[in-house]
Structure 1
């Protein structure tokens, strides 16, 4: 058995690998990577990042976004938020975006991975899952980046805040909100303003 065929046996469909992962199994990793990409056994998704194709009846399936981001960051602590989710808050947001925000503790900047766009934002604190309260705080903090009427969205965000779980919203503003969220949503929570100051 050759070193290349031994490496092929270790690859699993739909998985994402860093070059360093494959270097553990190959003494000629760069040559083997070139061969595996040429053969279609690996697909390069970014510098130093590869995925094994997973065939479906519709063709080659892309890597699962969470696996892709985890291998890219070399960390499983991150939160992916699609700005499209703002549309479900009932604040009048209707635009569709083709970029996913990834809150994490390691990387900052925009990257394309496996044909999809990600905006990595380094933050010390973010929740483990998206809640409506966090999503509203996130929308307010990102108003300047949205292709919508910012004043109208801000006004409706304040109205929506009044309908939300007060304690959960206070916690989201306090723990994850930037200055804009604290300034805009603070008056809505004014009866206990010190909780979001």
Structure 2
């Protein structure tokens, strides 16, 4: 049976585009519908499907890195959460129910499965999140924070000794907005832990 041939190619935990599945079926839309109805595949968004993976704890959601890679058809992206700002110790405590994806191709908010991803086109971003990049990113997004912005910035300036200055200089130059470069320039050139207003 042709449907069984398609199923034989599927790997639990993998995310597929319709074009991926079409190479194994001449009636791909009918077969996809049958696989979704039988809970073999889960529709994540238009043309994007997840081969469900079962564990003793039930169905597991798709790995976010795999999901974003298939959505973009590109591995040049950085997946992060604004919740990471809370690890810097600069007074942020808000929890955000979203993932941010810095990339070169897509912009806007997309619901993939049951999760919301905010895709932002950026010319430059690192391959991995570092605390120096995180600080630069926080200052880039200062206006979007729920906390008091001046208090957060004061805490940023008081944390100078917790960062590798050279790495922070590089991150500021490579990833900071004009305003962020100006604000963090004060931190990088400061001889004391003086706070500056926004």
Bucket of the pairwise TM-score, normalised by the shorter protein: over 0.9
Match of 1:186, SS state, is helix
Q: 1:57 offset after TM fit, Å?
A: 1.7
TM-score (norm 2): 0.93
Q: Given that residues 42 and 52 in structure 1 are in contact (C-alpha distance below 8 angstroms), is that contact kept between their aligned partners in structure 2?
A: yes
The answer to whether 1:49 aligns with 2:42 is no
d(CA) in 1 for partners of 2:160, 2:51: 44
Q: Any idea what the Cα deviations from partners look like across 1:122-181, whole Å, max 9, x if unmatched?
A: 011100000000000000101111211111111211222453111000000000111231
1:195 aligned partner: none
> By how many angstroms is 1:190 displaced?
2.7
Instruction: Return 5+ residue gaps in structure 2 as ranges.
Output: 191-198
What CA distance in whole angstroms lies between the structure 1 residues aligned with 2:177 and 2:79?
A: 18
- Please give the alpha-carbon distance, in whole angstroms, between the structure 2 residues aligned to 1:164 and 1:8: 51
Corresponding residue number in structure 2 for 1:19: 18
The number of residue pairs the alignment matches comes to: 190
- Give the alignment's TM-score, normalised by structure 1: 0.93
Q: Is the aligned partner of 1:29 residue 2:38?
A: no
Q: 1-side partners of 2:131 and 2:79: how far apart?
A: 14
Inter-partner Cα distance in structure 1 for 2:177 and 2:125:
12
Match of 1:86 in 2: 85
Q: Which residue of 2 aligns with 1:131?
A: 130
Alignment of 1:151-166 (within 5 A): 151-166=150-165
Q: Provide, for residues 2-44 of structure 1, a one-character-per-residue CA deviation record: whole Å limited to 9, x for no partner.
A: 2111000100001000011001111111111111101111000
Indicate conservation of the 8 Å contact 1:14/1:53, yes or no: yes
Q: What residue number does 1:174 align with?
A: 173
Report the Cα distance in structure 1 between the residues aligned to 2:176 and 2:184, rounded to whole angstroms. Answer: 10
User: Aligned partners of 2:183, 2:42: CA distance in 1, in Å?
Assistant: 45
Cα distance in structure 2, aligned partners of 1:180 and 1:59: 47
